[in-house]
Structure 1
């Protein structure tokens, strides 16, 4: 069973290293010291699409050093499902590797990763292993060490365009089509470039002429992949479109997803097919009409457009409303293939304590936390009282700094006084204020502005100040406590209103936040979450390291309903989470109290489940929820409601146990190497397990007694010092 983010196995330490850390991924030594040897990589892969090839990638330079553009393409064996190649790898060292399915645009420079083996522990070639022979049984793609894991790739060079159809988006004006099943198919088509006047060879001119004649001035975009998924179908995963498209049903959501390299040169042909009321078996549907979505419409990263539907006789037939989102790769950060936690969790681990906004909401009408929410002080307080995770909210300031704050709006007053008049408050969106303005102005919570009754915390203390930056939070808090980072983003309600108007560009917004987390996350366990399903999808596609959980209100009498059908119920959220390969859901406790069986429904789908809600502010409710088997419970006032006898994060406890295991390993081998000089293996506040393991395994020399090694081990104390 895969285990995610746990330290009980010292060999996992190398896989948890942050992006910015410098660590050789072989055995701590340069591979140039070792002579090369031949190794046959051979695997069986089914159902490849056009242009896809099977590749191998690994932790040594000969296998690309986990950089996707440097993967090694294998050769197909006589049109079989087996792909293989003999590659020179370093001798006398352990080598890690994975298989992946890629589209190689330009070898060594541009590669699209369509899918890959996303085990936490890669495949391993031990130093003394012998290369398999061609007569041996091939490895199966995605199966290793009794584990099956194949994940979709993430965005590297390509762009994904999603077209979403929901809330009965199609209107047809002909009565004969009323109450008929309509099938919709979306095809990306490449726009031919204008004549630049540059002379062409005879063959190029002939090819362009034939293309224009046979494809009506369109060509198929190179390396494009088009798929569809339905929210209420039996299979909610993305799959190739049927010949005549996918049926749209009432209250369903169809998501057409196209992966393209040059989105500005790609249009979308939308065909409508309708079956005759008397059609027989095997009879094709009638091609009723079509629309074109041109790239000039997709100028922003997301939006909605209404397109005319034209009949095949070029007459107006109706209209179709399409919501779209354009997802681009991160421009300033490249993910590698060394490790992924996106769908890994220790399934037996349940009942984690998650501090809501740190120590709890501090601006409710009653039962407020006494420490200001979403501050360093609030988060530290929860950590000091045994939180396994702390949950907090992140959004951007006007100058694009990720900050920790919950509400979209704040109230400001230029008067620093305790008694406020009605005209002393000005409500502003957080996104319209820079970081300096937010931190220097006298800022009030929205509820304080409405009630004219400000609450006063220890604002003169640095840790109690609102609007800490995400980078600061990542750097100063105990690394043994996980972060549940909720991304704030506007949602449209069922009545058509928005929680926040005119947000920033969704790609710029998430790129900015993700880059901070990927650069400063280190070894910390991090989970992203958001109420907006598109945000979840974009985070999942932009990076391959951290998991995403879909926050959902579900069927609620407390909160208004959102327009998006993915948010309407826990079963719908389960379908969507599996559609885009998320880790799991964070559901509203109101839903679970109404129907506790929903917890098992989520878990049967292979998903992790947390819960949140005001009802969690009660020890008996927290106990009941943990007994249901939830993986985590998000609640206020951990300092008051936590039932832990020892107020420590479970991850700190397991880190300590892992260190003890390594100490025992060192003691067991010390006698064989008693003459060797001592080796310092303590690097930071946490034992550098991998470095120690290298000395134990490679040199068989620890020269460190149990007592001396133990003396180096110290825990991260509550002041954040070693």
Structure 2
């Protein structure tokens, strides 16, 4: 693979038919986050195999089961990771590599080097009589562990998600690329075109957001279509990369403005460390979402609401969605009971709490100091 950075300016202005995309892609639609949004991370939460918290191993992440489990709670979107197999099928899987063990030997394969049929052989199978390859996962410490969860489910494709997940639930599709590779333009165009075709064939009226840590991919998917909003993902300085565009909120703003993107998804600690960036993001007419472990803490979520952040990506979907309702950040869903202290009139009048600028500055300074330690 050639090591050449993609420049959006290099992408020719070709008609949609040349890209092989539906004519619907040229029809722009307006998009606005539905109030303060709660988004389920990889469905009902990511798996942490070595954690003592059983909630991190309840449902297989990035699975139809996890997505529909999250849909039972008052959330707006689920977030999941999409890669494209070597035979051009968008599949849902987070890690760059997939692991299995046979006769005591661990085998490693890059997801994008597998065909769809090879990819689907890992883990539980849809046909009860079939036994799939033992699915393993490498931890951050380098250990390869069996991927055990309480409720398992087969691996799935993007098309299956559109067909089988509760229709009212929005999709935040993260376009997943390897941080260690600099992709050539033609490869990115091909991969993004493949994903976009599935979205336009199967999304119907479902809300869809695209996001990516890969700045060229984020700008390019915006170049290729104007129907769905595109967000740039950033660690905001929590981890440093050779590509400077990935290392701060200020650089993320530049990426969005240059590529006409609609928003930023930042690691929440980066926002708490640099709260002044929120005003710059708002002044740039960009939306701001966050992700990270702190989003599993109700008080941290409430503080973000006060700060004007538009939504949070969370792992503990049930707890945080309930907390958001109880803190009166948003009204409960029609199927859920009102908080005991709230009347229907109270819910109808929900608005952001009033804080003076001095009070907000104090809270932000305190948060910034806490995050440093």
Q: TM-score, normalised by structure 1?
A: 0.40
Match of 1:480 in 2: 168
Structure 2: tracts of 5 or more residues without a match: 122-132, 335-373
Inter-CA distance 443–454: structure 2 relative to 1 (3 Å threshold):
closer
For 1:633, what is the secondary structure of its paired residue?
A: strand
Match of 2:69 in 1: 381
Shift of 1:638: 0.7
Match of 1:609 in 2: 288
Is 1:533 aligned to 2:222, yes or no? no
Provide the rounded CA distance (Å) in 2 between the counterparts of 1:612 and 1:389: 13
Q: Contact 2:137–2:144 (CA<8 Å) still a contact in 1?
A: no
Structure number with larger C-alpha Rg? 1
Aligned with 2:276 (options 577, 588, 597):
597
Match of 1:372 in 2: 60
Match of 2:241 in 1: 562
Identify, as 1 or 2, the structure richer in helix.
2
For 1:345, what is the secondary structure of its paired residue?
A: coil
For 2:24, what is the secondary structure of its paired residue?
A: coil
Inter-CA distance 571–501: structure 2 relative to 1 (3 Å threshold):
closer
Match of 1:331 in 2: 20
For 1:601, what is the secondary structure of its paired residue?
A: helix
Matches within 5 A, 1:56-95: none
How many residues are matched? Answer: 313
Is 1:578 aligned to 2:257, yes or no? yes
- What is the alpha-carbon root mean square deviation over aligned residues? 3.2
Q: TM-score, normalised by structure 2?
A: 0.75
Match of 1:446 in 2: 138
Is 1:508 aligned to 2:180, yes or no? no
Match of 2:106 in 1: 425
Match of 1:186 in 2: none
Match of 1:489 in 2: 177
Q: Contact 2:138–2:144 (CA<8 Å) still a contact in 1?
A: no
Q: Deviations over 1:78-97 (max 9, x none)?
A: xxxxxxxxxxxxxxxxxxxx
Match of 1:434 in 2: 115
For 1:386, what is the secondary structure of its paired residue?
A: coil
Q: Contact 1:610–1:632 (CA<8 Å) still a contact in 2?
A: yes
Inter-CA distance 259–506: structure 2 relative to 1 (3 Å threshold):
closer
Inter-CA distance 650–332: structure 2 relative to 1 (3 Å threshold):
farther
Q: Contact 1:408–1:430 (CA<8 Å) still a contact in 2?
A: yes
Inter-CA distance 500–577: structure 2 relative to 1 (3 Å threshold):
closer
Inter-CA distance 458–568: structure 2 relative to 1 (3 Å threshold):
closer
Provide the rounded CA distance (Å) in 2 between the counterparts of 1:641 and 1:518: 31
Structure 1: tracts of 5 or more residues without a match: 1-161, 165-254, 263-326, 416-420, 492-497, 654-722
Q: Deviations over 1:262-320 (max 9, x none)?
A: 9xxxxxxxxxxxxxxxxxxxxxxxxxxxxxxxxxxxxxxxxxxxxxxxxxxxxxxxxxx
Aligned with 1:345 (options 12, 32, 56):
32
Match of 1:407 in 2: 95
Provide the rounded CA distance (Å) in 1 between the counterparts of 2:248 and 2:70: 31
Inter-CA distance 444–502: structure 2 relative to 1 (3 Å threshold):
farther
Aligned with 2:266 (options 567, 587, 604):
587
Q: Contact 1:553–1:587 (CA<8 Å) still a contact in 2?
A: yes
Q: Deviations over 1:673-715 (max 9, x none)?
A: xxxxxxxxxxxxxxxxxxxxxxxxxxxxxxxxxxxxxxxxxxx
Which structure has the higher relative contact order (CA within 8 Å, separation 6+)? 2
Shift of 1:585: 0.6
Inter-CA distance 605–369: structure 2 relative to 1 (3 Å threshold):
farther
